[in-house]
Chains A and B, each alone.
Chain A
């Protein structure tokens, strides 16, 4: 029989496909993925409550929350800990660091959500989720994934940059170059026919060659 853990070994979600549906107990009550429909969602896992790197990440995500809110993005954390542990930890963070955790945290004790999203990396730990992060769009489509090891805390500014890039892509139909940040020029998707390639050279974009055009948005 395939267990949740062995399933984890074989199943990873796929970009561009619907994010796996779930219903889970959280610090904000029972939540389903569909409850977030219409908003962007950053679903992220951490290895364990009351651990130092995870604590710095929770503080950083809480500090990022207002900027995400401006962009219509909700946050939801997850680990293989109980709701009671999560509640105690977020209260402890508020007491020790003066930061209130505004987002729900999934208590995934049976590893169901972790298995659906491939959050457990047995080579690192069979009992903890790695630092995984999934960006799910308002239609429930998985748009981006980031996987970090247990030892490395994530860069929340990169998460914000990723959201800005995805939202710019949706709004303007463009792509974003390496190290892009809001305000920088964007990439105009390359033409797919020789006819369009010819036209592209005269289209008025900042064009290096037919396949490499940039513009301001």
Chain B
């Protein structure tokens, strides 16, 4: 779903997804919170985890500190 655009910035959907994972949550809850279909969330997690912005633990998926920083950079710019 292209979570990071060619300029290295988070896409809008990636921002929504990272914002929905401030605490560990199952993917189904991320889908519910963002309104995106589960298949897109699964695809996004591959990209976001590869970029170091999201990580899975026993408790669920969560935005990493790198992900939170990337999110804050975008939000302060907006």
Contacts and interface: CB of A to CB of B under 8 A. Distances in A.
A209 interface: no
Contact of A28 (B38, B43, B46): B43
Given A28-B1, A29-B1, A39 B44 contact: no
B39 A29 contact: no
A32 B43 CA distance: 8
A19 to B, nearest CB: 14
A66 interface: no
B38 A29 contact: no
B56 interface: no
Interface in A13-33: 28-32
A2 to B, nearest CB: 30
B39 A36 contact: yes
> At the interface, is chain A mostly helix, strand, loop or mixed?
mixed
Given A28-B1, A29-B1, A29-B2, A38 B38 contact: yes
Contact of B43 (A31, A38, A39, A74): A31
Nearest to A41: B39
Interface string B9-33: 0000000000000000000000000
A35 interface: yes
A29 B44 contact: yes
Interface of B: 1-3, 37-40, 42-44, 46-47
25 contacts: A28-B1, A28-B40, A28-B43, A29-B1, A29-B2, A29-B40, A29-B43, A29-B47, A30-B1, A30-B46, A30-B47, A31-B39, A31-B43, A32-B42, A32-B43, A35-B38, A35-B40, A35-B42, A36-B39, A38-B38, A39-B37, A39-B38, A39-B39, A74-B37, A74-B39
